[in-house]
Chains A and B, each alone.
Chain A
Amino acid sequence: MSRIGNTPSMSEITPEKFYLQRREFIKNSLLFAATSTGVGSTLLWLMRGLRAKDHEKAAATVTPDVNAALNVTRHLDYASGEKNTSYNGVTNYNNFYEFGTDKSDPAANAGTLKPRPWQVTIEGEVARPQVFEIDELIKSFPLEERVYRMRCVEAWSMVIPWVGFPLGDLLKRVEPTSRAKYVAFKSLLDPQQMPGQRTDLLQWPYVEGLRIDEAMHPLTIMAVGLYGKRLPNQDGAPIRLVVPWKYGFKGIKSIVNIRLMEEQPPTSWNIAAPDEYGFYANVNPAVDHPRWSQATERRIGEYHRRPTLPFNGYSDQVSGLYAGMDLRRFF
Chain B
Amino acid sequence: MAMSGRKSPIPWLKPAVLTGSLVPIAAILLRAWRDELGPDPIAQALNQLGLIALIFLIAALGCTPLKTIFGWTWPMRIRRMLGLLAFFYAVLHVITYTVLDQGLDWHAILDDIVKRKFIFFGFSTFVLLIPLAATSTNSALRRLGYVRWKQLHRLAYLAPALAVLHFIWRVKLDVREPVAYGLVLAALLSARLADYMRDRKTLLTREI
Seen from chain A, the residues whose Cβ lies within 8 Å of a Cβ on chain B are 20, 28-29, 31-44, 46-47, 49-50, 85-86, 88-89, 92-93, 97, 101, 103-104, 154, 156, 201-202, 272-273, 288, 291-293, 295-296, 298, 300-301, 303-305
Contacts and interface: CB of A to CB of B under 8 A. Distances in A.
Nearest to B54: A46
Nearest to A301: B39
Interface in B140-198: 169-170, 172-174, 176-177
A304 B103 contact: yes
A291 B16 contact: no
B29 interface: no
A292 B118 contact: yes
A38 B55 CA distance: 15
Contact of B12 (A32, A88, A298): A32
Contacts of A273: 173
Range, interface on chain B: 35 or more
Interface stretch (B19-27, B61-69, B129-137, B200-208): B19-27
Contact of B17 (A35, A47, A88, A301): A35
A46 B51 contact: yes
A43 B20 contact: yes
Nearest to A155: B43
A36 B17 contact: yes
A317 B137 CA distance: 63
A101 B178 CA distance: 14
Interface of B: 2, 10-13, 15-17, 19-21, 23-24, 27, 38-40, 42-43, 48, 51-52, 55, 100-103, 105, 108, 111-112, 115-119, 169-170, 172-174, 176-177
A41 B10 CA distance: 21
Contacts of B39: 85-86, 88-89, 92-93, 103, 300-301
A24 to B, nearest CB: 8
A43 B55 contact: yes
Give the 10 A-B residue pairs with the shortest CB-CB distance, closest first.
Answer: A39-B20, A40-B23, A35-B16, A93-B39, A36-B19, A32-B12, A40-B20, A89-B39, A101-B174, A36-B20
Given A43-B55, A103-B38, A104-B38, A50 B176 contact: yes
Given A88-B39, A202-B173, A36 B16 contact: yes
B24 A47 contact: yes
B177 A50 contact: yes
B24 A93 contact: no
A278 to B, nearest CB: 15
A39 B40 contact: no
Given A40-B21, A292-B119, A295-B108, 19 more contacts: A28-B11, A32-B19, A35-B17, A36-B19, A36-B23, A38-B20, A39-B17, A43-B21, A44-B23, A46-B51, A49-B51, A50-B177, A288-B115, A291-B169, A292-B116, A293-B108, A293-B116, A298-B42, A305-B105
A50 B174 contact: yes
Contacts of A50: 174, 176-177
A35 B11 CA distance: 12
A39 B81 CA distance: 14
Contacts of B40: 93, 103, 156, 298, 300
Contacts of A40: 19-21, 23-24
A156 to B, nearest CB: 6
A93 to B, nearest CB: 4
Given A47-B48, A50-B174, A201-B174, A156 B43 contact: yes
29 contacts: A29-B12, A32-B12, A32-B16, A35-B16, A35-B17, A35-B20, A36-B15, A36-B16, A36-B23, A39-B20, A39-B23, A43-B20, A44-B24, A46-B52, A47-B52, A50-B177, A97-B173, A101-B173, A201-B173, A202-B173, A272-B173, A288-B115, A291-B117, A292-B116, A292-B119, A293-B116, A298-B42, A300-B40, A305-B103
